[in-house]
Chain A
């Protein structure tokens, strides 16, 4: 079994670092929440103009947004800073963690944990709770389990996307922004019912990369709606398992990436 105590110590160190910037941390907590507020506000603005979106009402769409925001904000909090990998390479932090007796990825994440993003996470959860309460869901034990499991699985899924996007930088240095297309792009994609999109673009993002299983299919299962695109209801309940596949794949890509870094150097 992995001894978690060193990692707990790293987390404590990061939390303690923040106390030296108490005022600016408080400010950042409050400005950061606006990122998620904007996402949700955008959906509300769109519903001002049109009564449905991709065949979904505001309350149904809010459930999709809630699942997506909650999952993304949690992943962004836990793993999002790995997009700073280029910075870690340049400043030597990556080398520094490689000469310590712990895994490189957890060290990087814990040493630069953006706790200021906690406010987004809280807001995203709030939206999910409100949406789940007002969407007229007929609660069954399965749905209760799903409403808890789906955001957690979504968090794992987005974390995997973050890690893969960052690991690509080991091969191609200036990839920073390309990663955004799949991390923040994935968040935008999952914020709406996938019926909004169409053609190869939808197939690629929804099924090819698996973003449909973050918010859309769990939301359908919670609402008890049939999928206009024809997949059966159980897909919604099974969708958290996609996160496992993503996590395994991301771990593999990271391992190969760091091996590549170690064979090419900085």
Chain B
């Protein structure tokens, strides 16, 4: 396997001026990204999450050639982002959720046409990619509407298309679902899932919405205070922070003697088991209970885990 993205000790410092007293200001150096190591293989779908100001966007900006790292090395598609910016630009796609690549006053159709010229994409390739996006993202009804009149959801579908028309190897998405309604979020997620399923586009996605990650990404990188605090699967995250599935059993009558390992709630009418590994043996055991009314398996809540992660000071 070849790594599409490689970063070693990536660091970005900003100088901020802090007001000290009435007139004096002091310069302070703040590390927005503080030694990030990252290796992403071709075709991976990577969720890059962290609280506000953790350094997500800054990392993305360094990988896309917008910002120069203060220290460390990065290679994307084998290129060094800032010095080889224009070459890299042809091979990556970037979607900023709150910023637009489209021409405000022009219909989407015209924006797409302009982008074909800017990236100098052969007409046939361009047409084929556009056809695919139009189909998957239902663009047809607003292809001729000026971008300024599009809803946020429609615009985001346009942005995704715009970022893909030159056939990028890596697609960077910075908060692609921010501010979208539920339906548009679903549309964007299914599109990205479809795109990732092909296996030839690498996706790097920052988000606040963990549902994006659960739906799309098998690998999750959590960053906090500029450092990577978790890199692995979602399951690994749960395992590491002890979040487990729960089996909840409701009974018609209170049990006299609760089974082993159960927490009794609701005056003995509810039993709660936490499960490591497969739930089937537990369920089999419970099915024999008299007066069983209902049984539910609750998946661990990723939000909760991540919140705990953010809150824990000086996480490893």
A residues adjacent to B (C-beta < 8 A): 3, 5-6, 8-10, 12-13, 16-18, 20-21, 91-93, 95-96, 98-103, 111, 259, 262-265
Nearest CB of A to B154, in Å: 18
Most buried by A among B87, B104, B118: B118
Contact across chains for A264 and B96 when beta carbons are under 8 A apart: no
Q: A3-B120, A10-B114 are contacts. A262–B82 as well, Cβ < 8 Å?
A: yes
Residues of B near any A CB (own CB < 8 A)? 12, 14-15, 32, 58, 61, 64-68, 70, 82, 85-87, 89-90, 92, 94, 96, 98-101, 103-106, 110-111, 113-114, 117-120, 146
Contact call B146/A262, Cβ cutoff below 8 A: no
Chain A to chain B: the 4 pairs with minimum beta-carbon distance, closest first: A92-B99, A9-B117, A17-B105, A101-B89
Is the CB–CB distance between A263 and B68 below 8 Å? yes
Enumerate chain B residues within 8 angstroms of A16, measured Cβ to Cβ. 106, 110
Find out whether the CB atom of B100 lies under 8 angstroms from the CB atom of A98: no
Q: Of B66, B70, B98, B105, which one neighbours A20 at CB under 8 angstroms?
A: B105
Contact yes or no, A96 B99, CB < 8 A:
yes
Cα distance A10–B103 in the bound complex, in angstroms: 10
**Inside 8 A of B86's CB, which chain A residues have their CB?**
101-103
Q: Is the CB of A96 within 8 A of B100?
A: yes
Contact call A262/B66, Cβ cutoff below 8 A? yes
Please report the C-alpha to C-alpha distance between residue A265 and residue B68 in the assembled complex, in whole angstroms. 9
Query: Could you tell me if B61 and A13 are in contact, using CB atoms closer than 8 angstroms?
Result: no
Which residue of the partner chain, among B14, B87, B90, contacts A265 with CB atoms under 8 Å?
Answer: B14
The answer to whether residues A264 and B14 also contact, given A17-B105, A21-B105 and a CB cut-off of 8 A, is yes
- A6 partner, pick from B32, B61, B87, B120, beta carbons under 8 A: B120
The prevalent SS among residues of B at the interface is mixed
Are A101 and B90 in contact, with the CB atoms below 8 A? yes
Instruction: Tell me if A's interface is mostly helix, strand, loop or mixed.
Output: helix
Least Cβ–Cβ distance between B298 and chain A, in angstroms: 41
Closest to A93 in B: B99
- A265–B58 CA distance with the chains assembled, in angstroms: 8
Q: Which residues of A contact B103 (CB under 8 A)?
A: 13, 17, 111
CB pair B12 A265 closer than 8 Å: yes
B residues in contact with A10, CB < 8 Å: 114, 117-118
Cβ-defined contact, A101 with B99, below 8 A: no
A111's nearest neighbour on chain B, judged by CB, is B103
A9 touches B114 (CB 8 A): yes
26 contacts between A and B (CB under 8 A): A9-B113, A9-B118, A10-B114, A10-B117, A13-B103, A13-B110, A17-B103, A20-B105, A92-B96, A92-B99, A92-B100, A93-B99, A95-B61, A95-B66, A95-B99, A98-B65, A98-B66, A99-B89, A99-B92, A100-B89, A101-B119, A102-B118, A262-B66, A263-B68, A263-B70, A264-B15
Find out whether the CB atom of B118 lies under 8 angstroms from the CB atom of A99.
Answer: no
Apart from A101-B120, A111-B103, A264-B15, what are 20 other A-B pairs with CB-CB below 8 Å?
Answer: A5-B117, A8-B117, A12-B114, A13-B106, A13-B111, A13-B114, A20-B105, A21-B105, A92-B99, A93-B99, A95-B61, A96-B101, A98-B65, A101-B90, A259-B68, A262-B68, A263-B67, A265-B32, A265-B58, A265-B61
Contacts of B82 in A (CB 8 A): 262
Cα-based distance from A102 to B65 in the complex (angstroms): 13
Taking CB atoms, residues of chain A closer than 8 Å to B87 are: 101
With a cutoff of 8 Å between Cβ atoms, the chain B residues found around residue A13 in the complex are 103, 106, 110-111, 114
| Known contacts A95-B96, A265-B12; A6 and B117 CB within 8 A of each other | yes
Interface centre among A3, A5, A6, A10 (most CB of B within 10 A): A6
| Complex CA distance for A1 and B298, rounded to whole angstroms | 63
Which B residues lie within 8 Å of A101 (CB)? Answer: 86-87, 89-90, 118-120
Which residues does chain B contribute within 8 Å of A262, judged by CB atoms?
A: 66-68, 82
The residue on A at minimum CB distance from B104 is: A17
Shortest Cβ distance from A12 into chain B, in angstroms? 8
Please give me the residue from chain B that is nearest to A13 by CB atom: B114
Residue of B nearest to A14 (CB): B103
A180 to chain B, nearest CB (A): 25
Q: How far is the CA of A145 from the CA of B120 in the complex (A)?
A: 39
Q: Given the complex, which residues of A lie within 8 Å of B104, measured CB to CB?
A: 17
Given the interface pairs A6-B120, A13-B114, A17-B106, the reply to whether A91 lies near B61 with Cβ below 8 Å is no
